[in-house]
Structure 1
Amino acid sequence: MEGFMGDFGFQTGEWRVHHRKLAERLTGCSDWVEFNGTCRASELTAGEANVEDQLLDDPAGAYRAAAFRRCDPQTGEWAIWWHDGRSTLLDPPVKGRFEGGVGRFYAHDTLRGQPILVRFVWSDIGPERARWEQAFSPDGGATWEVNWIMSFERTA
């Protein structure tokens, strides 16, 4: 079974991160904001968990963020929680697994009071690089708007 402990081992280390995100989400906006940041990630408990600490140099104001990931050893499914310093809330976890070298993770959430689906995709994973993207769907997954892309380049 793919999608098991150690799946996020590729991320262990330090990274330079290029961020590209839509200025507004699910409004038809086509204006992208680009900025850089850093990330430090490590595995925990023999690969059944992973944590990343990010510094995002967003033009609207720099902030810190963290992701915590935990693999269910019975199912091989990962749960990912995201938190950043702009809020006291913890986002609902996205859940999923890696198949064919690509990780896909989904959650139900709300945006401006409306229900949405959230999707995270990890792809283009190599020793020196990785790509993450976030997309929202307002229609139960029939259509998706990619609204944030992070390109990781290893520094250590």
Structure 2
Amino acid sequence: MPASSVQNSFRCAALALLAVLCCQTAVAADPPGYTLARQGDSHDFDFLGGAWTTVQRRLKARNVGSQEWTAFPANLCLTHYLDGIANVDELHMPTLGRRGLTLRTFDTEKRQWSIYWVATPLGRLDPIPVVGGFQGGRGEFYGEDKDGDQPVKVRFIWENLDANHARWAQAFSYDDKTWETNWTAEFTRSDPSRLCDQGRPRRS
């Protein structure tokens, strides 16, 4: 075989191998469903306005295959702003002695929600939001963060179950292949006059 033909054969084989490796890398880049392009509507979170009692469940240890959960109650009050394109809720976790605040903003050009979180005692706003929107009664929101020093992909799932019930779940992906759900919440609508004071959960 002429030297030029050998070189061409090696070149073709190298290009084919490179293409396979690139495709494998692309396939393995993100866990199932992960996207930063999901869109929604400015009224996606209208259902969440008002007051809610919740049962929170949090995984005791993440990324170790744990099946042990801690359950605790929490009360949530949510207020809409700017004709609904922004909202703020405060979550009071009395048995933990903690509070958390969620800020959601809707980009009317991108048609996309961004969700930010800050909690006591540190009071640090997570600067990178999860983004997305609802399709029907289910909302999906994705982003990137760190669990300690380890980079993770993050997924929020919101479900508007009916007029008086909702569900939320948070999951992390450590390997870009699978999701581990580590926090869930079941919501039941409550009376704002009993549960909230000027849009914030009453301290009991």
Pick from 170, 173, 186: which aligns with 1:151?
A: 186
- SS of 2:65 mapped into structure 1: coil
The CA deviation string for residues 79-119 of structure 1, in whole angstroms up to 9 with x for no partner, is 00011113232122110111132110011111121110011
Question: Which position in structure 2 is the counterpart of 1:54?
Answer: 91
Aligned 8 A contact 2:47 2:160 in 1: no
Over 2 Å off, 4+ runs: none
User: What residue identity is the alignment partner of 2:67?
Assistant: S
| One-letter amino acid of the structure 2 residue matched with residue 17 of structure 1 | T
Deviation of residue 24 (structure 1)? 1.3
Partner amino acid for 1:7?
Answer: D
Pair 1:44-2:100 in alignment: no
State the identity as a percent: 36
Whole-angstrom CA distance in 1 between matches of 2:135 and 2:153: 20
Partner residue of 1:102?
Answer: 138
1:124 Cα deviation from its structure 2 partner? 4.0
Is residue 104 of structure 2 the alignment partner of residue 74 of structure 1? no
When you count helix as a share of all residues, which structure comes out higher? 2
Task: Write out per-residue CA displacement over residues 49-69 of structure 1, whole angstroms, 9 at most, x where no aligned residue.
Answer: 1110110134xx320110000
Matches within 5 A, 1:5-20: 5-20=42-57
What corresponds to 1:123 in structure 2?
A: 159
Q: Partners of 2:161 and 2:121 in 1: how far apart?
A: 29
Q: CA deviation at 1:3?
A: 1.3
AA partner of residue 163 (structure 2): P
Over the aligned positions, Cα root-mean-square deviation in angstroms equals 1.5
Q: Please report the TM-score for the alignment, with normalisation by the length of structure 1.
A: 0.92
Alignment of 1:15-30 (within 5 A): 15-30=52-67
Contact preservation (8 Å) 2:57, 2:69: yes
Q: Is the 8 A contact 1:121 1:134 kept in 2?
A: yes
Structure (1 or 2) with the larger CA radius of gyration: 2
1:90 aligns to what? Answer: 125
Q: Spell out, residue by residue over 1:17-72, the C-alpha distance to the aligned partner (whole angstroms, 9 max, x if none).
A: 100110111122211000101000011110101110110134xx320110000001
Does 2:170 correspond to 1:134? yes
